[in-house]
Amino acid sequence: MTRVFRNNLCVLNGSVGFRPTGSKQNRGLTSFCQFVRPATALTAAFENRTVAVATKTFKRCLLLAAFVGAPIAIYAQGVDTIVEVPTTAHGSAIIEIPTAGQNRGDVNPDNVTMAGEYKSTKNVVEEQKPVFWRWYADFGYTSEYNFRGTNLTPDSDGAAYFNAQVTKENFTLGFFGIHQLDDASSPSWSIGEGGGGGISGKTENAGPTTVPYLRFPTTTQTRFNELDIFLSYKFSLGPIDVTIGDIGFFIERRAVTFETDVLPPGFFWIVPATLTRFRTVGPDPTVQDEQFDRAYIRLSTSKIPHITPQITYYQTLLSDGSEPDHGGFVFYKNFPTTFAPGNPFGHTPGTFFPSNPRPFNERNPEDHGGYLEGRINGNFPITKWMDFDPSAIISVSFRDRTEPGGANPYAGHPLTGWNHFQAGAKLPIHLLHLGGSSSTEWAPPDADLYFAPFGNYAYHISNPTAGTDRNEWWGGAEFEITF
């Protein structure tokens, strides 16, 4: 008897892991299967990271609390506050608060783009006293997390996020965090920061009869948390403001990939024994945590009334992540199929497992790509307590993003060229003003609270990755605090 194996599918005297429907010549034949061990374990390396990541996240929360709370408590001494509340009759009401208040300086945090969002401030300070430092903070909800044209939370319930920045002289330190709500899902081999994910409908050949079948992956992202930390320095050259800085991105992801394999008409699967053209197997290895570091330089000007044009170049210095890095075969041990002696398929008795070629290298193969972004931000007062802030973005990738295609069907190829166009608007509504007096050498608190609904549209100029539409719409709302 001849034992034959191809793609780890069960071979039945020349057929593989399935039987042609309506075939008489295969009846009563003895079948054989042969095993191939996978090159490495599939997911153990990813699961072992769970405790470590949770510990790191807790530590980051404590550091952020110390970052925000300690300086405010120190500066609060010697400062009295006044609260101004918008009213219909008189425009505002002044309420003096006799207790010491928190220090909130004038914030204008260098218009830094964090995770695709533009931040601006609108407050005035006493000119006779210098501002000790300037703060900005916001927290809100967005219906999707769209980063550089790529939807990182496809088909989820959106995401909650926060942003905190402090400026001292010309230096700005900032944090941005975002948390996915519910599960995200994409018809791809992975969900990654740079796009990728490969192509759905990849063709494989099954066994010596070279019967092709199609592989349709689905990746479910059950957990996504991102923390970005940046430091920048700003100086002026005539009418041009120059900002140089660095951003670290830390992404915690839990994802799993299953696939549906489809045979051509006339065949059906027997490992596992679905007895149809379709089988769903998994999990396949996929991208998990990622870390990036990018330096940037920005040119902007504030000399044009109501409009701030800027151009920014980002250079990737570090790109790392948990991903399968070699091929071979993956065996799906949670889909065993047992054949008894004398089974109707004429299959060799025993327990067998389905397998497929193993996905690998699903992240962007370019570790040090660049990204150029042109942006225009507007600020147009509508009333005393409401503004209209439009924005527009055009971007070019220098191998920093990926798009479908290329030699590796499980990933994509680095993109050089136009990436996406984006336009949106925000409507900041002024809810509260906090002023006061100071007995110190520094300016008193001058804080403003805004509620800002927003909406955005993006057109993906390059081929969009799986999970991202060519035309994307999303929106949300946030509370903003400037002080």
CATH assignment of the domain containing 86: 2.40.160.40
Query: What is residue 128's predicted lDDT score, i.e. its pLDDT?
Result: 66
Question: Is residue 1 domain-resident?
Answer: no
Query: What is residue 211's predicted lDDT score, i.e. its pLDDT?
Result: 84
Query: What is residue 3's predicted lDDT score, i.e. its pLDDT?
Result: 34
Q: Which phi and psi (to 5°) does residue 52 adopt?
A: -65, -40
Query: What is residue 346's predicted lDDT score, i.e. its pLDDT?
Result: 84
Total domains in the fold of the chain: 1
Query: What is residue 209's predicted lDDT score, i.e. its pLDDT?
Result: 53
Residue 149, classified by CB atoms within 10 Å of its CB into exposed (0-12), middle (13-18) or buried (19+), is buried
Question: Is residue 223 domain-resident?
Answer: yes
Question: Is residue 306 domain-resident?
Answer: yes
Query: What is residue 47's predicted lDDT score, i.e. its pLDDT?
Result: 41
Q: What 3 state SS string does the chain have?
A: CCCCCECCECEEECEECEEECCCCCCCCCCCECCCCCCCCCCCHHHHCCHHHHHHHHHHHHHHHHHHHHHHHHHHCCCEEEEEEECCCCCCCEEEEEEEECCCCCCCCCCCCEECCEECCCCCCCCCCCCCCCEEEEEEEEECCCEECCEECCCCCCCEEEEEEEEEECCEEEEEEEEEECCCEEECCCCCECCECCCCCCEEEEECCCCEEEEEEEEEEEEEEEEEEEEEEEEEEECCEEEEEEEEEEEEEEEEEEEEEEECCCCEEECCCCCCCCEEEEEEECCCCCEEEEEEEEEEECCCCCCEEEEEEEEEEEEEEECCCCCCCEEECCCCCEEECCCCCCCCCCEEECCEEECCCCCCCCCCCCEEEEEEEEECEEEECCEEEEEEEEEEEEEEEEEECCCCCCCCCEEEEEEEEEEEEEECCEEEEEEEEEECCCCCCCCEEEEEEEEEEEEEECCCCCCCCCCEEEEEEEEEEEEC
The Cα 292–Cα 314 span in angstroms is 12
Question: Is residue 24 domain-resident?
Answer: no
Question: Is residue 10 domain-resident?
Answer: no
Question: Is residue 13 domain-resident?
Answer: no
Containing domain of residue 114, as a range? 54-259+276-324+361-482
Question: Is residue 334 domain-resident?
Answer: no
Question: Is residue 28 domain-resident?
Answer: no
Per-residue pLDDT of the chain (483 residues; tens, 9 = 90+): 333 333 334 333 333 344 444 443 333 332 323 233 333 333 334 344 444 444 455 445 444 544 445 444 444 444 454 555 554 433 433 333 333 333 333 334 444 444 544 444 444 444 567 888 899 999 999 999 999 999 999 999 999 999 999 999 999 999 999 999 999 999 999 998 877 677 777 777 655 457 899 999 999 999 999 999 999 999 999 999 999 999 999 999 999 999 999 999 999 999 999 999 999 999 999 999 999 999 999 999 999 999 999 999 999 999 999 988 887 899 999 999 999 998 888 888 999 999 999 988 888 888 789 999 999 999 999 999 999 999 999 999 999 988 887 777 888 889 999 999 999 999 999 999 987 777 788 878 788 999 999 999 999 999 998 899 999 999 999 999 998
pTM: 0.76
Query: What is residue 60's predicted lDDT score, i.e. its pLDDT?
Result: 52
Query: What is residue 75's predicted lDDT score, i.e. its pLDDT?
Result: 47
